[in-house]
Amino acid sequence: MSKKIAIIGAVILLIIPFQSVIGLNQDIYTTNDNQIIIQNTDLDVISMINKINYSILFGYLEKIVSFGVRHVGSENCRNAAEYINEEFQQLGLESCIDSWKYPKYKCQNVIATYNGTDPTSDAVFVLTAHLDTIGNSVGANDDGSGVAALLTIANIFSNYNFNHTVKFVIVSGHEVGTYGSFDYAKKAYFRDENIIAHINVDMVGNSTCGNIIQAWTPERSYRLYYFTEEISYKYEKYIDIEVQLTAHYPMDSQSFVDYGYDAISFIQPKVFDYPIHTPEDSLDKINYPYFENVTKLVIALTAEFANKPIDVQVRFVTPKEGHAYLFNRPILKLLGLNLHRSRIRGITYLIGRTIAKINITTEEEIITVSYSIDGNTDYYAIFTESPYDWKIQKPIMSNFRLIGKHKLGVHVCTSTGKTAYDEMDFYALTPI
């Protein structure tokens, strides 16, 4: 009898380590260099992934396409926005229609908020897709696919809870200059919305290059790509998609980058070989297995982001985006005109040396804070004790004063080796 008890006890001891983390499932895979890696996949995330299917995606996409051509400011675009707003509300999200107006164009965005459950977190993750079309296209792929993907994710999310807040923003004005995304990003910045990451989904319904999704990512946001790649490996048993890092292109994600937020855009390969902006962008062009896989990647990525602890974060407090400064004094808040692709949207103008101030959020010990200009730093711009204020100036080794457009960066490193980075563009109107 005692022998049997000993055997049972040994079996229990073997089982316990594999069940010590509730809600996690250990997956084992081999990398290209034959390294064995054990990943703790989240059972809730797997459940979400498995709920993505043809039926729900097609249902949303068919409805969006049924509104016809959706030019900016048109009745069709407005009717589609109202439908989407009602869908979000029925799913239990706080949703509203937010109108915007600029010279030549006016339309509306739909903003749906799924609030996080952690009362100590003000972090926000924003997902966007654009509703408007151009020419005589009904935009099944461009970007009905992105809108349908976000509605599907919101539908599934409504049965789960997350630590941080997730916002689904269906924008308009993309095809005529990314007006809707610019309007949202600008308003978010001036109400001090702490957007940790912006995820843009644009044309994800068709691929002639197999199961590849491109991640159009600015250099400042490479951490988002690396985390996406990690998620694709982590759930590769459930998601058949390969993520490919691609140079950034000024899509709706650029609006968020212009206001100092990290952003990533997902888009199918060889996008310009697809019949965009034509009547051929129709429902019959959608490759649903591919569409499902991309949506599975986005839902897994967003779910992991929305529960991931934020160990360290740094944000510029001053100078503020979209202001003009005379030394340390903001003398003018700029109108924020949408000069599409000008790369000066949300830019800050400096006259004289201005002090850079930052806000660091972390519970860890801070080892160093270092500032840089155009990627270059000097010993005088490195701090080991607070306050971490720095009077902006040219690098010592430079033979010229700062004038014109430049990039101000700040790096933070903690005692455990965790890092955070923020950057902003500024334009020196006089030599610094």
- Rounded to the nearest 10 degrees, how much is the dihedral formed by the CA atoms of 103, 106, 112, 113? 20
pLDDT digits (tens, 9 = 90+) for 319-366: 999 999 999 999 998 876 666 555 668 889 999 999 999 999 999 999
Q: Exposed e or buried b for every residue in 109-148, given b needs 16+ CB within 10 A?
A: bbbbbbebebeebebbbbbbbbbbbbeebbbbbbbbbbbb
* The model's pTM: 0.90
- Residue ranges, the chain, pLDDT below 70: 1-40, 336-344
Query: What would the pLDDT profile of 399-432 be if each residue is shown by its tens digit?
Result: 778 899 999 999 999 999 999 999 999 999 999 8
Q: Structural domains in the chain? A: 8-37 (no CATH), 44-307 (3.40.630.10), 312-428 (2.60.40.10)
Q: Output the DSSP codes for 14-36.
A: HHGGGGSSTTEEEEEEE-TT--E
pLDDT, tens digit (0-9, with 9 covering 90-100), for 302-314: 999 999 999 999 9
